[in-house]
């Protein structure tokens, strides 16, 4: 009889907890929570009220606040830590990991300072470990509520991706495989910035036509920059690209959309983010996107306006007027 793979999920935010609960239905799974009281709640009450209120988790999911206990015997490690703390937690886990096991990122951000993707961080901290990403239009609460969803698991080796596909998939959670790790990660990081733009548009009272315009042009910018950075064009038209962008730009559950929405209503960034229990990655990524666009010579006017609002004091109204003054070129060109 083949032994079931043991999975460790590092990070007990909404998405990490959701993935851990899903995987626990198929294979032994342990989740690590930084706070002991959260680990105790997951283990004993099968809930995580701080991040997933009124949702029940799989009773087979184990939880601990001891990182070595979570990852020490794991066959697969899933990193669900926000980008700003990703490297630190991974370095703490590194001495306890078994050799060569795959490490999968759920984080949708870029490391500030280095501008590294999370799989690049994994490769630096854990050389020799296969590094990949799980990405797609995945709103945690809907998945726990039983709505159908899908994601892409991208690994450099398609055979490893296929093995992980069996761990993550369920009847209502379809998992597709691919090898474009770079494209999937870039799409996941950049779409958060564009979701802030969509939120600002909604907060300014624009109509559905305007929102469709904004999202379409966001996808064009995301694709241009993503391809320039090494991603494959088809990835940006798929689940990790357009799929995730649509969900994050349109859903009231989106933290980044909420940031844009509240800014357009006249609230300060400090007020909005101060009320949030989870990180809105687009706030941190907005400046990084501009650095990458400059480095690769790619024009990203919508991302530029988001950056100006987040980091330079421009109002959403000024940003919107600035975009509408731009003269359109051909549809596939910048602008």
User: pLDDT averaged over the chain?
Assistant: 92
Question: Of 141, 163, 179, which residue constitutes the final position of a domain?
Answer: 179
**φ, ψ of residue 70 in degrees (nearest 5):** -70, -45
Question: Of 151, 179, 207, which residue constitutes the final position of a domain?
Answer: 179
Q: How many domains, in total, are found in the chain?
A: 2
Q: Are residues 173 and 188 in the same domain?
A: no
pLDDT value, residue 282: 84
pLDDT value, residue 276: 80
pLDDT value, residue 284: 86
For 37, residues 6+ apart whose C-beta sits below 8 A from its C-beta are: none
In this structure, the chain runs to a length of 335
Specify the residue for token string 């400046």. 287
Q: Quick: pLDDT tens for 37-94.
A: 999 999 999 999 999 999 999 999 999 999 999 999 999 999 999 998 999 999 999 9
Q: Are residues 144 and 221 in the same domain?
A: no
Q: Quick: pLDDT tens for 194-209.
A: 999 999 999 998 888 9
Range of the domain at 225: 183-325
Is there a catalytic annotation at residue 191? yes
Give the count of beta carbons closer than 10 Å to the beta carbon of residue 331: 9
Q: Are residues 63 and 208 in the same domain?
A: no
Q: Which residues of 282-301 are buried (b: 16+ CB within 10 A; e: fewer)?
A: bbbbbbbbbebbeeeebebb
Is residue 106 situated within a structural domain?
yes
Active-site residue identified among 191, 217, 255, 258:
191
Q: Are residues 253 and 147 in the same domain?
A: no
Considering only 17-26, 107-116, 142-151, which range has the smallest mean pLDDT? 107-116
Question: Of 179, 208, 242, which residue constitutes the final position of a domain?
Answer: 179
Share of the chain above pLDDT 90, in %: 81
CA atoms within 13 A on the CB side of 227: 12
Q: Are residues 24 and 170 in the same domain?
A: yes
Q: Quick: pLDDT tens for 213-260.
A: 999 999 999 999 999 999 999 999 999 999 999 999 999 999 999 999
Contact between residue 185 and residue 155 where contact means Cβ atoms under 8 Å apart: no
Is residue 122 situated within a structural domain?
yes
Q: Are residues 167 and 262 in the same domain?
A: no
Is residue 331 situated within a structural domain?
no
Is residue 196 situated within a structural domain?
yes
> What distance in Å separates the CA atoms of residue 317 and residue 153, rounded to the nearest whole number?
38
> What distance in Å separates the CA atoms of residue 142 and residue 172, rounded to the nearest whole number?
11
How are beta strands 76-79 and 62-64 bridged, if at all? unpaired
């Amino acid at each position: 009889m083949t032994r079931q793979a043991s999975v460790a999920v590092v990070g007990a935010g909404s998405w990490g907890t959701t993935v851990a609960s899903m995987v626990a239905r198929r294979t032994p799974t342990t989740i690590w929570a930084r706070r002991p009281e959260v680990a105790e709640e997951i283990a004993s009450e099968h809930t995580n009220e701080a991040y997933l209120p009124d949702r029940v988790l799989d009773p087979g999911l184990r939880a601990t606040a001891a990182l070595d206990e979570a990852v020490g015997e794991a066959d697969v490690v899933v990193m669900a830590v926000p980008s700003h703390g990703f490297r630190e937690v991974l370095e703490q886990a590194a001495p306890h990991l078994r050799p060569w096991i795959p490490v999968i990122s759920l984080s949708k951000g870029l490391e500030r300072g280095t501008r590294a993707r999370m799989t690049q961080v994994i490769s630096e901290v854990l050389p020799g470990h296969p590094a990949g990403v799980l990405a797609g239009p995945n709103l945690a609460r809907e998945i726990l509520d039983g709505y159908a969803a899908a994601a892409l698991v991208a690994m450099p080796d398609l055979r490893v991706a296929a093995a992980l596909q069996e761990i993550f998939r369920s009847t209502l959670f379809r998992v597709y495989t691919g090898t474009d790790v770079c494209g999937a990660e870039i799409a996941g990081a950049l779409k958060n910035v564009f979701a802030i733009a969509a939120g600002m548009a909604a907060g300014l009272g624009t109509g559905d036509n305007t929102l469709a315009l904004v999202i379409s042009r966001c996808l064009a910018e995301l694709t241009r920059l993503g391809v320039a950075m090494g991603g494959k064009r088809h990835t940006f038209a798929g689940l990790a690209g357009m799929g995730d962008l649509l969900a994050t730009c349109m859903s009231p559950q989106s933290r980044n959309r909420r940031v844009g929405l509240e800014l357009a209503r006249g609230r300060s960034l400090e007020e909005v983010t101060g009320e949030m229990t989870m990180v809105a990655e687009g706030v941190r990524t907005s400046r990084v996107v501009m650095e990458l666009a400059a480095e690769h010579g790619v024009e990203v006017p919508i991302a530029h306006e988001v950056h100006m609002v987040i980091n330079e004091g421009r109002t959403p109204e000024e940003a919107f007027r600035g975009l509408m003054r731009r003269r359109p070129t051909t549809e596939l060109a910048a602008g």
